[in-house]
Amino acid sequence: MADGAKWYVIHTYSGYENAVKTSIEKFVNGRGMEDVILRIEVPLETVTEVTDSGATKEVERKVFPGYVLIKMVMSDETWHLVRNVRGVTGFVGSENKPIPLTEEEVLSMGMEKHEIEVKYAVGDHVKIVDGPLSSFTGIVEEIEPEKNRVSVMVSMFGRETPVELELDQVETIKD
């Protein structure tokens, strides 16, 4: 059933985000609904603030104040459960029809990450398999898994040119 789960945005009273998250989690655990309401998140970012005295301190801030993200299978039961939690004003979307986030929106917020297995290393000969340089070959110069980037030195028009690509756009050349 979790296959049909999508990310939705819940609108809450400002300052109630954590209370809404906790309440939904209690309802989910109490009613055994872990298979239809999978995750509830209040996106946070760490910010370094400089105080009047010049000292710095790290503070966690809500990325979207007044909103909570929830990954769930939408049904009448789950809609009513979430909608009737104290502090929830509704789902983002039209009147009674919540609109799920797109895959790109979820990835850009860092809510879910696609794991990419890198089967090459610096110095390996690789072939570009996607994008405008597809079928070009080159040598891996640098790999940055946390940024989903690989730098490949490609020979174009008789010149060596560094090209930045995503990790899944290249594969090793099989001898």
Q: For the domain that residue 77 is a member of, what is the CATH number?
A: 3.30.70.940
pTM given for the model: 0.61
Q: Provide CB contacts within 8 A for 171, sequence distance 6+.
A: 119, 120, 126, 127, 129
Say yes or no: 84 and 18 in one domain: yes
Q: For the segment 159-169, what is each residue's pLDDT rounded down to a tens digit?
A: 999 999 988 88
Q: Is residue 70 part of a domain?
A: yes
Q: Are residues 129 and 104 in the same domain?
A: no
Q: Which residue range(s) make up the domain with 54?
A: 2-108
C-alpha neighbours within 13 Å on the C-beta side of residue 33: 22
Q: What is the pLDDT of residues 73-113, one digit of tens each?
A: 999 999 999 999 999 999 998 777 899 998 888 777 766 65
Report if residue 131 sits inside a domain: yes
Per-residue DSSP letter, 44: E
Q: Is residue 119 part of a domain?
A: no
pLDDT for res 27: 93
The per-residue pLDDT for 2 is 57
Count of domains in the chain? Answer: 2
Q: How far apart are CA 123 and CA 43, in angstroms?
A: 38
In a domain, 140, yes or no: yes
User: Same structural domain for residues 100 and 162?
Assistant: no
* Among 106, 118, 113, CA closest to 149: 118
39 and 80 in a common domain = yes
Q: What is the DSSP letter of 115?
A: -
Cα(65)–Cα(151) distance, rounded to whole angstroms? 37
Residue 74 located in a structural domain = yes
CB within 8 Å of 125: residues ≥ 6 apart: 137, 138, 139, 172, 173
Give the tokens for residue 66: 């007044």
pLDDT for residue 120 is more than 80: yes
d(CA 117, CA 140) in angstroms, rounded, equals 15
Sheet holding 159-166, edge to edge: 159-166, 149-156, 137-144, 125-128, 170-172
Cβ contact 86:28 at 8 Å: no
Instruction: Dump pLDDT digits (tens) for 14-57.
Output: 999 999 999 999 999 999 999 999 999 998 888 888 878 888 88
**Concatenated DSSP letters of 68-99:** EEEEE---HHHHHHHHTSTTEEEESEETTEE-
Query: Final residue of a domain: which of 61, 77, 108?
Result: 108
Per-residue model confidence as pLDDT tens digits over 133-161: 888 999 999 998 877 889 999 998 889 99
- 98 and 145 inside one domain: no
| 47 and 82 together in one domain | yes
